[in-house]
Amino acid sequence: MNTTIDDTQLKRAWQTAFELRLCPDGIILFAETPDENLHRHLQMCHICREKREMPLAQRAAWEELQRRFAGVGQKPARPEKPVAGQVWSLKRSLAGWIEEGYFYKPPMVLLLERIEGSRGFKAVQLYGDRLLMGEGDVWLDDRFGFAQGWNCYSLHEDAFDGCWGAVAGMTLNQVAESVSMKHAPVDEDSILYFFRRMEIKVGARVALPSVAVLVEKWETSVEESVIDFFKRLFPVEAVKNALTGWRIPDGVVDVFQLAVSAVAPSKMAPLKAANKTCYLQANYIRKKGESVIIEPLLTEITFTDWHGGGYLVSGRLAEPFANPVQLLAVLSHASGQQIQSEPSTLTPETIDFDIFFKGVSRAETVSGHLQLLVVSYA
């Protein structure tokens, strides 16, 4: 098969993926009078424009074909208790318009592991077309397609709709291994790059309500605040000693603020790749005997989004940790105001993370400067 055919197939695969993830279903698409959201979408999506321009008879035949396909095949189950290894569809209520004019539709996910002490799961997003596989993807089978080891996020059980089956334990282990690994970046001029950016945005979008719920449940179960625990564990003098040679913002004396806002000397700062990816330098703090060690750490920010309940920041570490770590973040403003995130814990060998700022306004997210602290209590 020649390169031209391969390129054509890949472009068609990308177009299909775009339609499946970001275009509205027929009921919305064929509304007699397009609302503002649909009008915006039609301006940039030729696929949906062409569908709306179909003759009524052809449109009716197309809708009937869709209904018949929907009625064929296996029906999802609703087990009493979700478990790792199962493949679930997500509730249609998670679908919806966003300001950019896209209609996000929830994907299928593979449950990787339960989040300890909660009704949440770490889930990996699935997609069906082999043509869009790359490094970090794990093929499951012809029914479920492949698991995206680079696209893992938290979901609350309330987001689950129906269970379509499960994968073997060996396959689940392969997916878990892929999730824990650092994968080589994809060429930013490739179709695969645009596909993966879309998939990350879709996943972060559907995960946003779950993150808010899980944070709220976590808050009610914790007796001592995480910041108070941090201050008790890391004495201020030990932190100051660890930051010798670092740049400290004027007027900062609080031990947590010292740790999160200090800027490493240039000779210590991790190098950034020369591409369009968004990176954030975090600080990594741990204890070594009675001493405190603080090191700069490069993180990749893969997605940010705001909705009425708060602000979600998704990203990944350059390398996994062998022990659990906690992520604490602040949005700092020029006025001196600092908004703390809800705590986020990463299990060993996990690199994907979500940070959630509960109840912040859109204006606060735009004007705030994100600072991130990775804490090891081991």
- The pLDDT tens digits for 1-27 are 444 447 889 999 999 999 999 999 888
Q: Is the pTM of this model over 0.85?
A: no
Q: How many CB atoms lie within 10 A of CB 303?
A: 20
Tokens in use for 246? 């670092």
Letter string b/e over residues 189-226, b meaning 16 or more CB atoms within 10 A of that residue's CB: eebbbebbebbbbbbbbbbbbbbbbbbeebeeeeeeeb
Tokens in use for 325? 């770590």
Contact (Cβ atoms closer than 8 angstroms) between residue 374 and residue 330? no
**With 60 as the cut, is the pLDDT of residue 176 above it?**
yes
Tokens in use for 324? 């659990």
What is the spatial distance between Cα 266 and Cα 271, in angstroms, rounded to a whole number?
A: 10
What is the spatial distance between Cα 353 and Cα 223, in angstroms, rounded to a whole number?
A: 24
What is the spatial distance between Cα 54 and Cα 122, in angstroms, rounded to a whole number?
A: 42
Sign of the dihedral through C-alpha 150, 179, 345, 240: negative
Q: Which of 66-70, 127-131, 150-154 has the lowest mean pLDDT?
A: 66-70
Contact (Cβ atoms closer than 8 angstroms) between residue 136 and residue 150? yes
- The single-letter code of the amino acid at 316 is R
**What pLDDT does residue 3 have?**
46
> Length of the chain, please?
378
Q: Chain-wide mean pLDDT for the chain?
A: 84
Residue 47: partners with Cβ closer than 8 Å, 6 or more residues away:
15, 18, 19, 23
Return the H-helix or E-strand segment holding 210: helix 191-221
Region 43-71 average pLDDT: 78
**With 50 as the cut, is the pLDDT of residue 332 above it?**
yes
Kindly list the distances between the CA atom of residue 288 and the CA atoms of 17, 233, 242, in Å, as whole numbers in the listed order: 49, 12, 11
Kindly list the distances between the CA atom of residue 311 and the CA atoms of 79, 337, 340, 341, in Å, as whole numbers in the listed order: 32, 16, 11, 9
Kindly list the distances between the CA atom of residue 172 and the CA atoms of 6, 139, 176, 249, 255, in Å, as whole numbers in the listed order: 31, 11, 6, 46, 41
Tens of pLDDT, residue by residue over 208-265, are 777 766 655 655 554 446 777 688 778 888 899 999 999 988 888 888 989 999 999 8
Region 116-145 average pLDDT: 93
**What pLDDT does residue 308 have?**
62
Q: Longest C-alpha distance within the chain, in Å?
A: 77
- The single-letter code of the amino acid at 355 is I
What is the spatial distance between Cα 88 and Cα 49, in angstroms, rounded to a whole number?
A: 31
Task: Please compute, for residue 113, the number of CA atoms within 13 A of its CA located in the half-sphere on the CB side.
Answer: 15
CA neighbor of 163 nearest in space, from 261, 88, 56, 81 = 88
**With 70 as the cut, is the pLDDT of residue 60 above it?**
yes
Number of H helices, E strands in the chain: 11, 16
The domain locations on the chain are 14-217, 222-376
CATH 3.40.50.720 fits 14-217, yes or no: no
